[in-house]
Chain A
Amino acid sequence: MRIALTVNGERQEIDVEPRLLLVHLLRDHLGRTGTHIGCDTSNCGACTILLDGDAVKSCTLLAVQADGCAITTIEGLASGSQMHPVQEAFWDNHGLQCGFCTPGMIMAAVALLDRTPRPSEEEIKRGLEGNLCRCTGYVNIIRSVQAAAEALDRSGSVPAA
Protein backbone atom coordinates (compact mmCIF):
# COMPACT_ATOMS: atom_id res chain seq x y z
CA MET A 1 0.00 0.00 0.00
CA ARG A 2 1.31 3.44 -0.95
CA ILE A 3 1.64 5.99 1.84
CA ALA A 4 2.88 9.58 1.93
CA LEU A 5 4.28 11.24 5.02
CA THR A 6 6.70 13.93 6.04
CA VAL A 7 9.76 12.87 8.01
CA ASN A 8 11.85 15.68 9.49
CA GLY A 9 10.41 18.07 6.95
CA GLU A 10 11.13 15.83 3.98
CA ARG A 11 8.20 14.38 2.03
CA GLN A 12 8.37 10.62 1.58
CA GLU A 13 6.22 8.39 -0.61
CA ILE A 14 6.72 4.70 -0.16
CA ASP A 15 5.05 1.33 -0.72
CA VAL A 16 4.65 -0.61 2.50
CA GLU A 17 3.04 -3.79 3.73
CA PRO A 18 0.17 -2.90 6.10
CA ARG A 19 1.85 -4.87 8.89
CA LEU A 20 5.06 -2.83 8.74
CA LEU A 21 5.61 -1.08 12.07
CA LEU A 22 6.35 2.64 11.94
CA VAL A 23 9.67 2.16 13.75
CA HIS A 24 10.77 -0.33 11.07
CA LEU A 25 9.73 2.07 8.33
CA LEU A 26 11.88 4.77 9.90
CA ARG A 27 14.90 2.58 10.62
CA ASP A 28 14.96 -0.01 7.84
CA HIS A 29 13.32 1.79 4.92
CA LEU A 30 14.22 5.43 5.54
CA GLY A 31 17.56 4.91 7.32
CA ARG A 32 16.62 6.96 10.39
CA THR A 33 18.32 4.68 12.88
CA GLY A 34 18.42 7.31 15.61
CA THR A 35 15.04 5.98 16.74
CA HIS A 36 15.83 2.90 18.82
CA ILE A 37 13.94 -0.32 19.40
CA GLY A 38 14.14 -1.32 23.04
CA CYS A 39 11.39 -3.53 24.42
CA ASP A 40 9.21 -3.68 21.30
CA THR A 41 6.17 -3.84 23.64
CA SER A 42 5.45 -0.10 24.17
CA ASN A 43 6.90 -0.14 27.68
CA CYS A 44 10.35 1.41 27.39
CA GLY A 45 9.87 4.48 25.21
CA ALA A 46 13.18 4.17 23.31
CA CYS A 47 11.24 4.38 20.02
CA THR A 48 9.47 7.64 20.95
CA ILE A 49 9.01 10.05 18.03
CA LEU A 50 6.71 12.99 17.37
CA LEU A 51 3.66 12.30 15.21
CA ASP A 52 1.92 15.55 14.29
CA GLY A 53 3.60 17.02 17.37
CA ASP A 54 2.53 14.31 19.84
CA ALA A 55 5.05 11.96 21.48
CA VAL A 56 4.17 8.39 20.47
CA LYS A 57 5.82 4.99 20.64
CA SER A 58 6.63 4.03 17.07
CA CYS A 59 6.82 0.30 17.88
CA THR A 60 3.09 0.35 18.56
CA LEU A 61 2.00 2.12 15.40
CA LEU A 62 1.69 0.80 11.90
CA ALA A 63 3.39 2.76 9.16
CA VAL A 64 0.00 2.98 7.40
CA GLN A 65 -1.45 4.77 10.44
CA ALA A 66 1.05 7.57 9.80
CA ASP A 67 -0.15 8.08 6.21
CA GLY A 68 -0.62 11.82 5.73
CA CYS A 69 1.16 12.71 9.00
CA ALA A 70 4.27 14.71 9.88
CA ILE A 71 6.95 12.88 11.85
CA THR A 72 9.92 14.24 13.74
CA THR A 73 12.70 11.89 14.83
CA ILE A 74 15.80 12.66 16.86
CA GLU A 75 17.61 13.39 13.57
CA GLY A 76 15.16 16.20 12.88
CA LEU A 77 15.92 18.26 15.99
CA ALA A 78 19.30 19.84 15.25
CA SER A 79 19.66 22.53 12.61
CA GLY A 80 22.94 21.74 10.91
CA SER A 81 25.65 21.61 13.57
CA GLN A 82 23.45 23.56 16.01
CA MET A 83 21.94 21.10 18.47
CA HIS A 84 18.40 21.53 19.74
CA PRO A 85 18.33 23.12 23.24
CA VAL A 86 17.11 19.83 24.73
CA GLN A 87 20.01 17.93 23.13
CA GLU A 88 22.41 20.61 24.35
CA ALA A 89 21.01 20.36 27.88
CA PHE A 90 21.37 16.55 27.94
CA TRP A 91 25.01 16.98 26.87
CA ASP A 92 25.78 19.71 29.40
CA ASN A 93 24.11 17.92 32.32
CA HIS A 94 25.35 14.42 31.65
CA GLY A 95 21.77 13.31 30.94
CA LEU A 96 22.94 10.07 29.39
CA GLN A 97 25.18 7.17 30.24
CA CYS A 98 24.99 4.35 27.67
CA GLY A 99 22.77 6.53 25.47
CA PHE A 100 20.34 3.86 24.34
CA CYS A 101 17.23 5.48 25.84
CA THR A 102 18.42 9.00 24.96
CA PRO A 103 16.67 9.60 21.60
CA GLY A 104 13.34 8.54 23.14
CA MET A 105 14.00 10.53 26.31
CA ILE A 106 14.81 13.64 24.31
CA MET A 107 11.76 13.31 22.05
CA ALA A 108 9.50 12.81 25.10
CA ALA A 109 11.15 15.82 26.76
CA VAL A 110 10.66 17.98 23.65
CA ALA A 111 6.94 17.09 23.62
CA LEU A 112 6.67 17.75 27.36
CA LEU A 113 8.29 21.19 27.09
CA ASP A 114 6.14 22.04 24.11
CA ARG A 115 3.01 21.49 26.23
CA THR A 116 4.45 22.53 29.62
CA PRO A 117 7.25 25.09 29.07
CA ARG A 118 8.15 25.43 32.78
CA PRO A 119 7.50 22.00 34.27
CA SER A 120 7.93 21.21 37.95
CA GLU A 121 10.06 18.21 38.90
CA GLU A 122 6.85 16.21 39.38
CA GLU A 123 5.61 17.22 35.93
CA ILE A 124 8.92 16.14 34.38
CA LYS A 125 8.72 12.77 36.13
CA ARG A 126 5.16 12.33 34.96
CA GLY A 127 5.98 13.47 31.42
CA LEU A 128 8.81 10.94 31.17
CA GLU A 129 7.07 8.04 32.94
CA GLY A 130 6.83 6.16 29.66
CA ASN A 131 10.61 6.20 29.12
CA LEU A 132 12.91 3.78 30.92
CA CYS A 133 16.64 4.31 31.50
CA ARG A 134 18.28 1.03 32.43
CA CYS A 135 21.41 2.91 33.57
CA THR A 136 18.99 4.57 36.02
CA GLY A 137 20.37 7.97 35.17
CA TYR A 138 17.08 9.63 36.00
CA VAL A 139 18.49 12.32 38.30
CA ASN A 140 20.60 13.83 35.55
CA ILE A 141 17.85 13.35 32.98
CA ILE A 142 15.47 15.41 35.12
CA ARG A 143 18.22 18.00 35.62
CA SER A 144 18.72 18.11 31.84
CA VAL A 145 15.04 18.76 31.19
CA GLN A 146 15.03 21.52 33.83
CA ALA A 147 18.08 23.09 32.19
CA ALA A 148 16.47 22.81 28.76
CA ALA A 149 13.33 24.52 30.06
CA GLU A 150 15.41 27.38 31.43
CA ALA A 151 17.42 27.70 28.22
CA LEU A 152 14.29 27.76 26.09
CA ASP A 153 12.74 30.28 28.44
CA ARG A 154 15.81 32.54 28.30
CA SER A 155 16.02 32.42 24.55
CA GLY A 156 12.27 32.91 24.25
CA SER A 157 12.36 30.29 21.51
CA VAL A 158 9.87 27.57 20.88
CA PRO A 159 11.20 24.03 20.43
CA ALA A 160 11.73 23.33 16.73
CA ALA A 161 9.38 20.36 16.80
Chain B
Amino acid sequence: MILKVALRNFAGQGMRAFLNVSVTALIIIATIFSLSLLNGFQAQALKNLSTTDVGGGHYRVPGFDIMSPTDWEDLTQEVPRQLSQFKHNEKAEVLVQQGQLFINNRMFPVQLRGVEMGQQLLDLPMDHLLRRQQPVADSVPIIIGTQMSRKSKLKVGDQVVMKWRDKHGAVDALDAEVVDVVPLVNPRVDEGVAWLRLDHLRQITLRSKEITWVVVEGNRGKVEGLEFIDTDYLMRDLLALLANDRRNTRLIIGILLMLAAISVFNTQYLNIFKRQKEIGTLMAMGMTPNQIIRLFTVEGGLAAVGAVLMAVVLGIPFFAWFQISGFDVSHLSGTGIPVRENIFLEFNVREIATAVSIIVGLMILVAWWPVRRISNLEPTQALRGRGIT
Protein backbone atom coordinates (compact mmCIF):
# COMPACT_ATOMS: atom_id res chain seq x y z
CA MET B 1 0.00 0.00 0.00
CA ILE B 2 2.80 2.40 0.96
CA LEU B 3 4.54 1.79 -2.35
CA LYS B 4 1.36 2.55 -4.28
CA VAL B 5 0.75 5.74 -2.32
CA ALA B 6 4.40 6.76 -2.60
CA LEU B 7 4.28 6.25 -6.37
CA ARG B 8 1.27 8.54 -6.67
CA ASN B 9 2.82 11.17 -4.44
CA PHE B 10 6.11 10.92 -6.30
CA ALA B 11 4.38 11.36 -9.65
CA GLY B 12 2.46 14.28 -8.14
CA GLN B 13 5.71 16.11 -7.39
CA GLY B 14 6.05 16.79 -11.12
CA MET B 15 9.05 18.82 -12.21
CA ARG B 16 10.90 18.53 -8.88
CA ALA B 17 10.80 14.75 -9.07
CA PHE B 18 11.78 14.81 -12.74
CA LEU B 19 14.81 17.00 -12.03
CA ASN B 20 15.97 14.78 -9.18
CA VAL B 21 15.57 11.70 -11.33
CA SER B 22 17.38 13.36 -14.25
CA VAL B 23 20.32 14.58 -12.17
CA THR B 24 20.72 11.19 -10.51
CA ALA B 25 20.38 9.36 -13.84
CA LEU B 26 23.07 11.56 -15.39
CA ILE B 27 25.34 10.84 -12.44
CA ILE B 28 24.78 7.11 -12.84
CA ILE B 29 25.60 7.37 -16.55
CA ALA B 30 28.65 9.56 -15.85
CA THR B 31 29.84 7.14 -13.18
CA ILE B 32 29.50 4.08 -15.41
CA PHE B 33 31.07 5.98 -18.30
CA SER B 34 34.09 7.22 -16.38
CA LEU B 35 34.74 3.89 -14.66
CA SER B 36 34.32 1.92 -17.88
CA LEU B 37 36.43 4.37 -19.87
CA LEU B 38 39.18 4.03 -17.31
CA ASN B 39 38.83 0.24 -17.50
CA GLY B 40 39.02 0.42 -21.32
CA PHE B 41 42.01 2.70 -21.15
CA GLN B 42 43.72 0.45 -18.61
CA ALA B 43 42.98 -2.72 -20.55
CA GLN B 44 44.24 -1.21 -23.79
CA ALA B 45 47.35 0.29 -22.21
CA LEU B 46 48.25 -2.93 -20.39
CA LYS B 47 47.58 -4.97 -23.52
CA ASN B 48 49.80 -2.68 -25.60
CA LEU B 49 52.53 -2.80 -23.02
CA SER B 50 52.22 -6.54 -22.73
CA THR B 51 52.20 -7.31 -26.45
CA THR B 52 55.09 -5.02 -27.34
CA ASP B 53 57.46 -5.35 -24.43
CA VAL B 54 56.43 -7.04 -21.22
CA GLY B 55 54.80 -10.27 -22.39
CA GLY B 56 54.19 -12.48 -19.39
CA GLY B 57 57.33 -11.27 -17.63
CA HIS B 58 61.09 -11.13 -18.25
CA TYR B 59 63.97 -13.35 -17.30
CA ARG B 60 66.66 -10.73 -16.87
CA VAL B 61 70.28 -10.59 -16.02
CA PRO B 62 70.28 -9.69 -12.31
CA GLY B 63 70.92 -6.01 -11.67
CA PHE B 64 69.75 -4.86 -15.08
CA ASP B 65 68.00 -1.52 -15.00
CA ILE B 66 66.65 0.08 -18.17
CA MET B 67 67.25 3.47 -16.56
CA SER B 68 71.02 2.86 -16.26
CA PRO B 69 72.28 2.60 -19.86
CA THR B 70 75.92 2.75 -18.86
CA ASP B 71 75.55 -0.64 -17.20
CA TRP B 72 73.84 -2.34 -20.12
CA GLU B 73 77.02 -3.65 -21.72
CA ASP B 74 78.04 -5.32 -18.49
CA LEU B 75 74.71 -7.01 -17.90
CA THR B 76 74.35 -9.57 -20.64
CA GLN B 77 74.84 -13.31 -20.69
CA GLU B 78 74.31 -16.30 -22.89
CA VAL B 79 70.78 -17.67 -23.10
CA PRO B 80 70.44 -20.47 -20.59
CA ARG B 81 69.67 -23.82 -22.20
CA GLN B 82 66.43 -24.02 -20.27
CA LEU B 83 65.07 -20.95 -22.09
CA SER B 84 66.66 -21.46 -25.49
CA GLN B 85 64.60 -24.64 -25.88
CA PHE B 86 61.31 -22.73 -25.74
CA LYS B 87 59.29 -22.40 -28.93
CA HIS B 88 58.92 -19.12 -30.85
CA ASN B 89 55.53 -18.47 -29.33
CA GLU B 90 56.84 -19.04 -25.80
CA LYS B 91 59.78 -16.66 -25.63
CA ALA B 92 61.47 -13.72 -27.32
CA GLU B 93 65.19 -13.12 -26.77
CA VAL B 94 66.22 -9.48 -26.49
CA LEU B 95 69.61 -7.84 -26.37
CA VAL B 96 69.88 -4.19 -25.41
CA GLN B 97 72.98 -2.05 -25.92
CA GLN B 98 73.86 1.59 -26.02
CA GLY B 99 74.54 3.28 -29.33
CA GLN B 100 74.51 6.59 -31.11
CA LEU B 101 73.17 7.71 -34.43
CA PHE B 102 74.78 10.66 -36.11
CA ILE B 103 71.98 12.53 -37.83
CA ASN B 104 73.02 15.67 -39.67
CA ASN B 105 76.27 15.57 -37.76
CA ARG B 106 74.47 15.60 -34.45
CA MET B 107 74.78 12.74 -32.03
CA PHE B 108 71.53 11.04 -31.16
CA PRO B 109 71.82 8.53 -28.29
CA VAL B 110 69.75 5.45 -28.93
CA GLN B 111 68.93 2.14 -27.38
CA LEU B 112 69.95 -0.59 -29.78
CA ARG B 113 67.41 -3.29 -29.23
CA GLY B 114 67.94 -6.60 -30.93
CA VAL B 115 64.95 -8.89 -31.01
CA GLU B 116 64.87 -12.51 -32.01
CA MET B 117 63.42 -12.88 -35.49
CA GLY B 118 60.57 -15.31 -35.85
CA GLN B 119 59.42 -14.88 -32.29
CA GLN B 120 55.65 -14.86 -32.02
CA LEU B 121 55.26 -13.79 -28.42
CA LEU B 122 55.48 -10.04 -28.98
CA ASP B 123 53.45 -8.20 -31.58
CA LEU B 124 56.17 -6.17 -33.27
CA PRO B 125 56.01 -5.17 -36.95
CA MET B 126 59.51 -6.35 -37.84
CA ASP B 127 58.76 -7.76 -41.31
CA HIS B 128 61.41 -5.62 -43.00
CA LEU B 129 64.09 -6.90 -40.66
CA LEU B 130 62.93 -10.48 -41.07
CA ARG B 131 63.80 -10.30 -44.73
CA ARG B 132 67.37 -9.07 -44.03
CA GLN B 133 68.75 -12.46 -43.16
CA GLN B 134 72.29 -11.89 -44.40
CA PRO B 135 74.96 -11.02 -41.83
CA VAL B 136 75.85 -7.37 -41.50
CA ALA B 137 78.20 -6.20 -44.21
CA ASP B 138 78.23 -2.54 -45.29
CA SER B 139 75.24 -1.32 -43.35
CA VAL B 140 73.00 -2.36 -40.47
CA PRO B 141 69.27 -2.48 -41.23
CA ILE B 142 67.21 -0.83 -38.49
CA ILE B 143 63.56 -0.13 -37.88
CA ILE B 144 62.30 2.85 -35.93
CA GLY B 145 58.92 3.85 -34.62
CA THR B 146 56.90 6.84 -35.78
CA GLN B 147 57.67 8.89 -32.67
CA MET B 148 61.37 8.23 -33.09
CA SER B 149 61.06 9.15 -36.77
CA ARG B 150 59.31 12.40 -35.89
CA LYS B 151 61.91 13.37 -33.30
CA SER B 152 65.00 12.29 -35.27
CA LYS B 153 63.61 13.36 -38.67
CA LEU B 154 64.66 9.96 -40.01
CA LYS B 155 62.59 8.28 -42.68
CA VAL B 156 62.61 5.06 -44.65
CA GLY B 157 65.72 4.75 -46.81
CA ASP B 158 67.85 7.16 -44.76
CA GLN B 159 71.36 6.08 -43.92
CA VAL B 160 73.15 7.46 -40.91
CA VAL B 161 76.31 6.58 -39.06
CA MET B 162 75.69 4.31 -36.11
CA LYS B 163 78.26 3.88 -33.35
CA TRP B 164 78.47 1.33 -30.53
CA ARG B 165 80.96 -0.51 -28.31
CA ASP B 166 81.58 -4.18 -28.71
CA LYS B 167 81.97 -6.74 -25.95
CA HIS B 168 85.65 -5.86 -25.54
CA GLY B 169 85.00 -2.16 -25.20
CA ALA B 170 86.17 -1.26 -28.71
CA VAL B 171 84.15 1.47 -30.35
CA ASP B 172 82.86 0.52 -33.78
CA ALA B 173 80.66 2.21 -36.35
CA LEU B 174 78.79 1.43 -39.54
CA ASP B 175 76.05 2.97 -41.60
CA ALA B 176 72.56 2.17 -40.36
CA GLU B 177 69.81 2.03 -42.94
CA VAL B 178 66.24 2.79 -41.88
CA VAL B 179 64.35 -0.01 -43.59
CA ASP B 180 60.97 0.78 -42.08
CA VAL B 181 59.15 3.27 -39.87
CA VAL B 182 56.45 1.46 -37.95
CA PRO B 183 53.62 2.58 -35.71
CA LEU B 184 54.43 1.36 -32.23
CA VAL B 185 51.68 1.98 -29.68
CA ASN B 186 54.10 1.72 -26.79
CA PRO B 187 56.43 4.72 -26.40
CA ARG B 188 58.85 2.59 -24.36
CA VAL B 189 59.77 0.70 -27.51
CA ASP B 190 59.54 3.68 -29.83
CA GLU B 191 61.20 6.85 -28.58
CA GLY B 192 64.99 6.58 -28.64
CA VAL B 193 64.94 2.97 -29.79
CA ALA B 194 66.52 1.54 -32.93
CA TRP B 195 65.35 -2.01 -33.62
CA LEU B 196 67.79 -4.53 -35.03
CA ARG B 197 67.74 -8.19 -35.77
CA LEU B 198 69.09 -9.97 -32.68
CA ASP B 199 71.66 -11.85 -34.77
CA HIS B 200 72.87 -8.55 -36.27
CA LEU B 201 73.27 -6.88 -32.89
CA ARG B 202 75.05 -9.94 -31.54
CA GLN B 203 77.33 -9.92 -34.57
CA ILE B 204 78.34 -6.26 -34.39
CA THR B 205 78.81 -6.29 -30.59
CA LEU B 206 80.53 -9.68 -30.61
CA ARG B 207 78.01 -11.04 -28.16
CA SER B 208 77.20 -14.38 -29.70
CA LYS B 209 74.17 -16.05 -28.09
CA GLU B 210 73.92 -13.27 -25.49
CA ILE B 211 70.79 -11.64 -24.24
CA THR B 212 69.81 -8.92 -21.80
CA TRP B 213 66.46 -10.49 -21.13
CA VAL B 214 64.13 -13.13 -22.43
CA VAL B 215 60.45 -12.29 -22.67
CA VAL B 216 58.37 -15.29 -21.65
CA GLU B 217 54.67 -16.21 -21.40
CA GLY B 218 54.89 -16.51 -17.63
CA ASN B 219 57.09 -17.58 -14.79
CA ARG B 220 58.73 -20.88 -15.67
CA GLY B 221 60.50 -21.29 -12.38
CA LYS B 222 64.12 -20.76 -11.50
CA VAL B 223 66.51 -20.24 -14.40
CA GLU B 224 70.20 -20.29 -13.70
CA GLY B 225 71.90 -16.90 -13.96
CA LEU B 226 68.66 -14.95 -14.57
CA GLU B 227 65.95 -13.58 -12.36
CA PHE B 228 62.27 -13.50 -13.19
CA ILE B 229 60.67 -10.03 -13.24
CA ASP B 230 56.88 -10.19 -13.21
CA THR B 231 54.47 -8.02 -15.17
CA ASP B 232 53.35 -6.01 -12.13
CA TYR B 233 56.90 -4.83 -11.63
CA LEU B 234 57.49 -4.22 -15.32
CA MET B 235 54.26 -2.19 -15.59
CA ARG B 236 54.49 -0.54 -12.19
CA ASP B 237 54.74 3.03 -13.48
CA LEU B 238 51.66 2.61 -15.66
CA LEU B 239 49.72 0.82 -12.89
CA ALA B 240 50.61 3.63 -10.47
CA LEU B 241 49.42 6.20 -13.00
CA LEU B 242 46.14 4.32 -13.53
CA ALA B 243 45.59 3.91 -9.79
CA ASN B 244 46.00 7.66 -9.45
CA ASP B 245 43.53 8.24 -12.30
CA ARG B 246 41.07 5.91 -10.59
CA ARG B 247 41.37 7.88 -7.35
CA ASN B 248 40.75 11.15 -9.21
CA THR B 249 37.77 9.66 -11.03
CA ARG B 250 36.27 8.46 -7.75
CA LEU B 251 36.74 11.91 -6.26
CA ILE B 252 34.86 13.54 -9.16
CA ILE B 253 32.11 10.91 -8.97
CA GLY B 254 31.89 11.53 -5.22
CA ILE B 255 31.44 15.27 -5.78
CA LEU B 256 28.72 14.66 -8.40
CA LEU B 257 27.03 12.22 -6.07
CA MET B 258 27.06 14.74 -3.24
CA LEU B 259 25.33 17.27 -5.50
CA ALA B 260 22.59 14.78 -6.36
CA ALA B 261 22.25 13.82 -2.70
CA ILE B 262 21.88 17.48 -1.70
CA SER B 263 19.20 17.88 -4.37
CA VAL B 264 17.17 14.91 -3.05
CA PHE B 265 17.75 15.98 0.56
CA ASN B 266 16.52 19.48 -0.24
CA THR B 267 13.42 18.12 -1.99
CA GLN B 268 12.64 15.88 0.97
CA TYR B 269 13.18 18.67 3.45
CA LEU B 270 10.87 20.96 1.48
CA ASN B 271 8.40 18.09 1.16
CA ILE B 272 7.97 17.54 4.87
CA PHE B 273 7.92 21.27 5.50
CA LYS B 274 5.29 22.00 2.85
CA ARG B 275 3.26 18.87 3.44
CA GLN B 276 2.89 19.07 7.21
CA LYS B 277 -0.91 19.33 7.00
CA GLU B 278 -0.94 16.29 4.77
CA ILE B 279 1.23 14.47 7.32
CA GLY B 280 -1.17 15.55 10.06
CA THR B 281 -4.12 14.32 7.99
CA LEU B 282 -2.43 10.97 7.43
CA MET B 283 -1.85 10.71 11.18
CA ALA B 284 -5.49 11.59 11.86
CA MET B 285 -6.55 8.90 9.41
CA GLY B 286 -4.54 6.38 11.38
CA MET B 287 -1.08 6.18 9.88
CA THR B 288 1.68 5.82 12.47
CA PRO B 289 4.71 8.11 12.32
CA ASN B 290 6.81 5.13 11.24
CA GLN B 291 4.46 4.39 8.37
CA ILE B 292 4.65 8.02 7.27
CA ILE B 293 8.44 7.97 7.51
CA ARG B 294 8.42 4.84 5.35
CA LEU B 295 6.05 6.51 2.90
CA PHE B 296 8.21 9.62 2.52
CA THR B 297 11.41 7.56 2.38
CA VAL B 298 9.97 5.34 -0.35
CA GLU B 299 8.81 8.48 -2.15
CA GLY B 300 12.32 9.93 -2.01
CA GLY B 301 13.87 6.57 -2.82
CA LEU B 302 11.75 6.36 -5.94
CA ALA B 303 13.97 9.14 -7.32
CA ALA B 304 16.82 6.65 -7.21
CA VAL B 305 14.76 3.87 -8.81
CA GLY B 306 13.51 6.27 -11.48
CA ALA B 307 17.08 7.40 -12.03
CA VAL B 308 18.23 3.82 -12.60
CA LEU B 309 15.43 3.32 -15.14
CA MET B 310 16.22 6.61 -16.87
CA ALA B 311 19.92 5.74 -16.85
CA VAL B 312 19.09 2.47 -18.62
CA VAL B 313 16.92 4.23 -21.21
CA LEU B 314 19.42 7.02 -21.92
CA GLY B 315 22.60 5.13 -21.14
CA ILE B 316 22.21 2.10 -23.41
CA PRO B 317 21.95 4.09 -26.68
CA PHE B 318 24.74 6.41 -25.54
CA PHE B 319 27.09 3.55 -24.65
CA ALA B 320 26.17 1.71 -27.87
CA TRP B 321 27.04 4.79 -29.90
CA PHE B 322 30.27 5.27 -27.96
CA GLN B 323 31.36 1.70 -28.56
CA ILE B 324 31.10 2.35 -32.31
CA SER B 325 33.07 5.58 -32.36
CA GLY B 326 35.41 5.13 -29.40
CA PHE B 327 37.37 7.88 -27.71
CA ASP B 328 40.19 9.45 -29.67
CA VAL B 329 43.35 9.57 -27.55
CA SER B 330 45.75 10.53 -30.31
CA HIS B 331 46.50 13.63 -28.25
CA LEU B 332 48.34 11.28 -25.86
CA SER B 333 50.84 10.35 -28.57
CA GLY B 334 53.38 12.77 -27.13
CA THR B 335 53.14 11.29 -23.67
CA GLY B 336 54.61 8.13 -22.21
CA ILE B 337 51.26 6.41 -22.04
CA PRO B 338 51.16 3.29 -24.19
CA VAL B 339 47.88 4.05 -25.96
CA ARG B 340 47.60 5.60 -29.39
CA GLU B 341 44.43 4.24 -30.92
CA ASN B 342 40.78 5.00 -30.03
CA ILE B 343 39.82 3.50 -26.74
CA PHE B 344 36.52 1.83 -25.91
CA LEU B 345 34.54 1.24 -22.77
CA GLU B 346 35.13 -1.94 -20.85
CA PHE B 347 32.20 -2.70 -18.56
CA ASN B 348 32.82 -4.45 -15.30
CA VAL B 349 29.43 -5.73 -14.14
CA ARG B 350 30.48 -6.03 -10.51
CA GLU B 351 31.93 -2.52 -10.47
CA ILE B 352 28.78 -1.08 -12.10
CA ALA B 353 26.51 -2.97 -9.69
CA THR B 354 28.53 -1.67 -6.74
CA ALA B 355 28.50 1.92 -8.02
CA VAL B 356 24.75 1.87 -8.75
CA SER B 357 24.04 0.26 -5.36
CA ILE B 358 26.05 2.98 -3.62
CA ILE B 359 24.18 5.70 -5.54
CA VAL B 360 20.75 4.16 -4.85
CA GLY B 361 21.69 3.53 -1.21
CA LEU B 362 22.87 7.10 -0.74
CA MET B 363 19.70 8.47 -2.35
CA ILE B 364 17.53 6.39 -0.02
CA LEU B 365 19.61 7.52 2.95
CA VAL B 366 19.21 11.20 2.09
CA ALA B 367 15.52 10.61 1.42
CA TRP B 368 15.17 9.13 4.90
CA TRP B 369 17.40 11.50 6.83
CA PRO B 370 15.16 14.61 6.82
CA VAL B 371 11.92 12.68 7.33
CA ARG B 372 13.14 11.14 10.58
CA ARG B 373 11.81 14.31 12.19
CA ILE B 374 8.29 13.07 11.58
CA SER B 375 8.76 10.51 14.35
CA ASN B 376 8.59 13.29 16.94
CA LEU B 377 5.84 15.23 15.22
CA GLU B 378 2.58 15.75 17.12
CA PRO B 379 -0.48 15.28 14.89
CA THR B 380 -2.13 18.46 16.19
CA GLN B 381 0.98 20.50 15.43
CA ALA B 382 1.27 18.94 11.99
CA LEU B 383 -2.39 19.72 11.22
CA ARG B 384 -1.74 23.35 12.09
CA GLY B 385 1.38 23.32 9.88
CA ARG B 386 3.55 24.30 12.85
CA GLY B 387 5.24 21.03 13.70
CA ILE B 388 8.34 21.49 11.58
CA THR B 389 9.86 24.95 11.28
Binding between chains A and B? no
- Give me the interface of B with A, judged by CB distance under 8 Å: none
- Give me the interface of A with B, judged by CB distance under 8 Å: none
